[in-house]
Amino acid sequence: MLDTIFNPIQYHKDESLRTTLLVLGQLDDRASVLAMEGLISGDEYLFVREAYLQQREYLVSDGAYFDDF
């Protein structure tokens, strides 16, 4: 939400150029994620879920890392 508000492209007067630039930005974001799909092993849903939960725990703990191993 805030990315959209503070994105200077959002306020460009030419609507067709603005739409084109926003779509290209979304495609670039998607392409960067596709490069990471090769890292997924096993069940894709479980992998993405665990990665999300690990990232969330990292952000909640302000970057503190606890290893139970």
What type of residue sits at position 10? Q
Instruction: pLDDT band for 69, please (50, 70, 90 cuts).
Output: low
Domain membership of residue 56 (yes or no) is yes
Query: How many Cα atoms are found within 13 Å in the side-chain-facing hemisphere of 64?
Result: 4
Domain membership of residue 65 (yes or no) is no
Is 8 in contact with 14 (CB distance < 8 Å)? no
Residue 28 has pLDDT above 80, yes or no: yes
Domain membership of residue 22 (yes or no) is yes
pTM of the model: 0.49
Q: What share of the chain is helix, strand, coil (3-state, %, to 5)?
A: 70, 0, 30
Domain membership of residue 69 (yes or no) is no
Domain membership of residue 66 (yes or no) is no
Count of structural domains, the chain: 1
Residue-range definition of the domain harbouring residue 43: 2-60
